[in-house]
Structure 1
């Protein structure tokens, strides 16, 4: 096998189609198929499943995809460091932001990097944290912010903050319009909308209500932040989110928001990266920049409802 075959294979999996990959790579489709056949002969197992719906990797193909992306990433780092110097802060850095943090963190990161590191090209991904975890494990991201505070095999974790959760909308009952807090018990049987059952925020919500023996009434699974906020603002149901989810909205465009207390509900957030490959100088610079901006946004009162981890824990 060679680097060209690995690059072809990764593009086919990314696009889910031989035709689209061939178009992207400027390679004739028969030639692309021939190279993949040689790769499969070399490893001795089928790597792709072809159907009328497109192309998907086999179990062996998924393993090949993960390793191939890492190899290609290392080759790109090698070229960049040889060309620019081992300490050069340049090259491409792919970062994943959870949907709830994009509005408060993505633009400041983009602006700071453009001003300070013009040689770095950013790739920003926005998604639910579970999908970002998958992208990080597959080598498609250099960094991601995930809601965890422990290191797992293959992924190094740098805890940076804990964020509190709020109820958005009008729960009714004894909660007055001017109240800025909401006891968790006041949400018993209140109609709630929440992300799907595999979402980390949903799991945290279910565990917290179960632990406190408070009846949880989720009336719809909504994997869309704008829709969750629209429903909360409409008054038809409430939702539970961090304050960062509405940071970019004007006061008139925000649903009523109250901090949950008795107990306060928090979740950790960490900067994570794969430890299977060396971290580039550019990725180190971005990691440091994100930590710096989080501290600034907290100190300036822009990012509310968070508690920073001790500096020695979040050191970059």
Structure 2
């Protein structure tokens, strides 16, 4: 079973289609389709239900996809480790960061890293935490920033902890409060981030522990837009305290959420037992040093 075919199959699943997978691989749709067919011929079973709305994994496809992720990641580790043994310096640090809070947390570290290692290129991708963890498992990045708790297949270091703030319009009946319980907001509509953002998990989890499901009236990936929606009275939004400055003058009121397990806790994670390049180890050392300071 060729790695090239496995990569094509994984990309079809990740991109939810052959056309998008071909673009991601700089290939053609027919070549990607042929690669998937070759795997199916080799194992004697279909991997995808092509009649579904978008390719859907069969039972055999689930097994092959899970194993393919591990095999491709191990191959990348092998290549990197052998390059280091030969004295080859890639000089690339691959980081996956969420859109929420990354600038505040990591920008000073980027500056310091560039001062220490000016020849190392930093490659960044931005997604929600759930998507970043999937990319990390594939070995396409060295580290990802994600909200705690962290899955057992990752190692991690916590880099920031912030209380959660509820954003309410100034005319809201609860706007004068200094703290809020999640149950105080039971009857208020919620404005959340898009589904890939782990912050949603914190808020929805708090609601469910208190015995209710929130009424979600809007979702967005744009912080400023969410703040404006809250200010317009559409519903209550949530941000970590360090982003409170994103509230404009005369904008919504930020009130601390006095609720267990709702702190915004950001960690840098990497695959447990994975080989780390020289650049990755240098970044981790800098982060650990900053964390201890």
Q: State whether TM-score is above 0.5.
A: yes
Question: Which residue of 2 is the match for residue 284 of structure 1?
Answer: 281
Whole-Å separation in 2 of the counterparts to 1:253 and 1:285:
44
CA shift, 1:143, in A, is: 2.2
Q: Determine helix, strand or coil for the equivalent of 1:252.
A: coil
Structure 2 unaligned blocks of 5 or more? none
Asked whether the 8 Å contact 1:171–1:238 carries over to 2, the reply is no
Unaligned runs of 5+ in 1: 296-310
Cα-Cα RMSD: 4.1
C-alpha contact 1:155 1:275 (8 A) present in aligned 2:
yes
- Residue 104 of structure 1 corresponds to 104
Deviations 1:32-57 (A, max 9, x none): 44443222232333223334865444
Deviation at 1:242, TM superposition (A): 0.7
In structure 1, how many angstroms separate the alpha carbons of the residues matched to 2:58 and 2:240? 38
For the residue of structure 1 that corresponds to 2:228, the secondary structure is helix
1:269 alignment partner in structure 2: 266
Q: Count the aligned residue pairs.
A: 286
Q: Secondary structure at the match of 2:162?
A: strand
For residues 100 and 61 of structure 2, what CA distance do their matches in structure 1 show? 33
After TM superposition, the score normalised by the length of structure 1 is 0.68
Determine the C-alpha separation between the residues in 2 that align with 1:62 and 1:33: 18
Q: CA deviation at 1:269?
A: 3.1
**Match in the other structure for 1:305:** none
Q: CA–CA distance in 1 between the matches of 2:66 and 2:90?
A: 24
1:25: how far off? Answer: 4.7
TM-score (norm 2): 0.72
Residue 306 of structure 1 corresponds to: none
- How far the C-alpha of 1:164 sits from its partner, in A, is 0.7
Instruction: Tell whether the 8 Å contact from 1:100 to 1:244 is kept in structure 2 after alignment.
Output: no
- Aligned residue runs from structure 1 range 1-316, under 5 A: 1-22=1-22, 25=25, 29-51=29-51, 54-83=54-83, 85=85, 90=90, 92-117=92-117, 118-127=119-128, 129-149=129-149, 152=152, 154-169=153-168, 170=170, 172-173=172-173, 176=176, 181-184=178-181, 187=184, 191-195=188-192, 199-207=200-208, 210=210, 218=215, 220-226=217-223, 227-247=225-245, 249=246, 251-252=248-249, 255-261=252-258, 265-275=262-272, 277-291=274-288, 295=291, 311=292
Residue 231 of structure 1: CA displacement? 1.7
Q: Contact 2:190 / 2:217 at 8 angstroms: preserved in 1?
A: yes
CA distance in 1, matches of 2:103, 2:187: 28
Match of 1:308 in 2: none
Distance 2:114 2:41 in 1: 45
What is the DSSP-based 3-state SS (H/G/I as helix, E as strand, rest coil) of the residue aligned with 1:191? coil
The Cα offsets for residues 111-153 of structure 1, whole Å up to 9 and x where unpaired, read as 44444443344232221x344444444555432233224652x
Supply the distance in 1 between the matched residues of 2:173 and 2:31 (Cα, whole angstroms).
68
